[in-house]
Amino acid sequence: MKKTNPVGKGLLLLVIGGVVGYGIGLGLDLLISGTLNFSGSVASAFALLLAVTAFFFGLYGYRGITRGLTWQVVGTLLGALFITGIRALMGSATVFGPFLFSEPAWVFGALAGVVSFVFGVGIVDDWFNWARGIDTPEHHEDEPGWEKYFGVSLDHKVIGIQYTVTALVLIAIGGTFALIFRTELAASQLQFLTTTFRLFNQTGPQFYNTIMSLHGIMMIVSILLGVSGIMNYVVPMIIGAQDMAFPRLNAFAYWVAVPASVLFLMSLVLGGFDTGWTGYPPLSARAPVGMQMFFLAVFTAGWSSILGSLNVIATVVRMRAKGMIAMRLPIFVWASIATSIIALTATQLIGLSFQLVMFQRLLGMPFFNAAKGGNPVLFQHLFWFYSHPAVYVFVLPGLGVISELLPVFVRKPLYGYRWIAMSSLGIALVGFTVWAHHMFTSGMNEYLRVPFMYSTLLVAVPTGVKFFSWVATLWQGKIETPTPMLFVLGAIIVFLIGGLTGPPNAAISLDLHLHDTYFIVGHFHDTIFGGFVFPFFAAIYYWYPKATGRRMSEFWGKVHFWMMTPSFFILTFGMMRIGLLGMRRRIVDYDPALGLDTAHLIMTIAGFLIGLSVLIFFINFFRSLKHGEEATGNVWNSRSPEWQVPSPMYVHNYEVPFEVVGEPYDYGLHGSKYVEFISPNEVPQHPHPPSPAKVESIK
């Protein structure tokens, strides 16, 4: 009997689940409101929840992620019905709302859904067993093949891949949103997002505001997940650890991000929101229910970031290999430590700022209501105290990837190792003193402007240290240019442009004119693409053979690079040009008299070429799992310890521990050695020796 294709079965059930959910939503809407609203939010919300759950049921069965999503759906409905019942018993005049349930019911239901997902997926099972006095195995055996990635695993490599693939999914969704609104902006006047357009209870301009806002926040969350993916996969291997310090907490940090991703999509169908990704009040205090889903999604994803960063710090501090003193750590580890310090100490502030707006909406607390003595500028201080250091959470791991890979493909030592290591900590430290440069036009106290201008310009110093080091490392090197190296070089150039366009925004007199124009959009995209997106692709191409035992296609990797890079330059230079000519950001339409139609059309074409290049990457990524060239050895001729053992990696990384005996980046120096594996006779007996079984490659 022919085996059923699980992907095909999942897609079929996705369609069926979507249709059934849409029908249920229509029926409930008709029952409550008395009308059939085919483009409304209720039918769309049920269609979304049931379709996603049905897809994973077809793909994986009722376990792992499918059980978690099922519990999230049930928990959301039960929580909403609970609050609805209470409001009915209290005689409330608004038992139901425009989106079936009232806003308090949706908020409590969404929170109950997140908690239900965590229990349903099974990530807290061991902790509850321990609380009941039941012993559990220290390490759980993973399912074979690809199925282990849809259930709870304690292996840091599996979790790293789960983070990475989830990040890629969110990048695809956020990028699709960008292509939709980029198409609308290809010409002046409204094209298809008109005032007669109706979807999810939103008109065309309202829908533009929602997908523009979701594009920003979903890309940001995808970057946070991508950062966690790289750090989870790479850090334990390159420091010689068997796993992360807290494997169950590591898995919990990943799985709590999954229901958060669902809440982001729920915000789209529950009326959307029009604030941009920043969620500023007073707009966010009166936006539809989708605003609350946005707040809850960010709040939930923040837990993932906080717990993951705590784990990274503990792992590096306590689990390094013998001889790996501070100044022999790989540079990527220094970048990960700096990133984790920021995430651990600042993420609470964005959660707090959003939580206060939630309470203002639900309970009438006037935190940011000026009419009742509140201060909306306070929100911006709380928000940016995290959200500007968060930029360094995005870029520091990427800059670490650049410094890690550059010596491998230049075949010479990394210039200024100690300076680069300390510059990461310097960026993290100074990054906490610059947040208010986002607020020069906000009406904050004027005497604060000049100190923040100088502190912002000061960030260029530790960042410049990295650039000088990279250039010196490249100088007279024996440069090789496989796909990872191309993306490293692209990252350096793009991030340089992002850095050079930053100081004008730090200067008060210039920022008063540039703020809220497309110049800021172009600068930010250069910074994020150069600081994370290009290094992220470089890291995937570089460590893909270690994860799978196969290489991604070099030809299609270079097609990806050479299609994306020039297109990106056209897009961002175009953004900065039209910004200087007066084009405001976050608007659905613009005046034809500005003469920007041709520029917008060219930028839209460039945006679609970027999308096509990323599609090529996805095809290459998944096709290479089965058809890629086998690569079980040290394919990049690297000195790093993970490449000294066969690929894919052993379950607990190294059968035999190693000792660090030299410097990590002494490429080209005759006789130099970084690590030396300890003889089995010298290895102390351990009550739980690592399993000799290799991780089965992804099938």
User: What CATH number does residue 311 fall under?
Assistant: 1.20.210.10
Last residue of a domain, one of 131, 159, 184: 131
pLDDT at residue number 422: 93
Q: What is the CA radius of gyration of the chain?
A: 25
pLDDT score recorded for residue 688: 42
Residues 616, 581 share a domain: yes
The separation between the first and the last C-alpha atoms of the chain, rounded to the nearest angstrom, is 21
The full DSSP string for 265-311 is HHHHHTT---STTTT-TTHHHHS-THHHHHHHHHHHHHHHHHHHHHH
pLDDT of 59? 83
- Asked if residue 123 belongs to a domain, the reply is yes
Under-70 pLDDT residues of the chain: 1-4, 680-699
SS (H, E, C) 64-121: HHHHHHHHHHHHHHHHHHHHHHHHHHCCCCCCEECEEECHHHHHHHHHHHHHHHHHHH
Is the same domain home to 294 and 385?
yes
The residues facing 509 across adjacent strands are none
The answer on 175 and 206 residing in a single domain is yes
CB 334 within 8 A of CB 362: no
Could you tell me if residue 688 is inside a domain?
no
Per-residue pLDDT of 247-304, as tens digits, reads 999 999 999 999 999 999 999 989 899 999 999 999 999 999 999 999 999 999 999 9
Residue 139 lies in a domain: no
165 plus 26 within the same structural domain: no
Question: Are 119 and 167 part of one and the same domain?
Answer: no
In a domain, 35, yes or no: yes
The reported pLDDT for the residue numbered 649 is 85
Are 229 and 371 members of one domain?
yes
Distance separating alpha carbons of residues 418 and 310, to the nearest angstrom: 24
Last residue of a domain, one of 131, 161, 194: 131
Q: Read off φ and ψ for residue 197, nearest 5 degrees.
A: -65, 135
Name the domain count of the chain: 2
CA distance 148 to 156: 12
pTM: 0.92
* One domain, residues 156 and 16: no
Whose CA is closest to 271, among 76, 42, 108, 46? 42
Chain centroid to Cα 62, Å, comes to 27
Note whether residue 663 is domain-resident: no
**156 in the same domain as 120:** no
State both tokens at 542: 């570089």
Domain closes at, from 630, 650, 670: 630
Strand 675-677 relative to strand 658-660, pairing: antiparallel
β-strand partners of 630 = 550
213/96 same-domain check = no
Domain hosting residue 440, numbered range: 147-630
3-state SS string over 344-359? Answer: HHHHHHHHHHHHHHHH
Each residue's pLDDT tens digit, 609-652: 999 999 999 999 999 999 989 888 899 999 999 999 988 888 88
Say if 447 falls within a structural domain. Answer: yes
Assess whether 109 and 10 both reside in one domain.
yes
Query: Are 40 and 70 part of one and the same domain?
Result: yes
Amino acid (1-letter code) at residue 264: F
Q: Is residue 680 part of a domain?
A: no
pLDDT at residue 680, rounded to an integer? 64
Residues 95 and 164 reside in one and the same domain: no
**Location of structure tokens 């019905």:** 81
How many residues can be counted in the chain? Answer: 699
Q: Is residue 678 part of a domain?
A: no
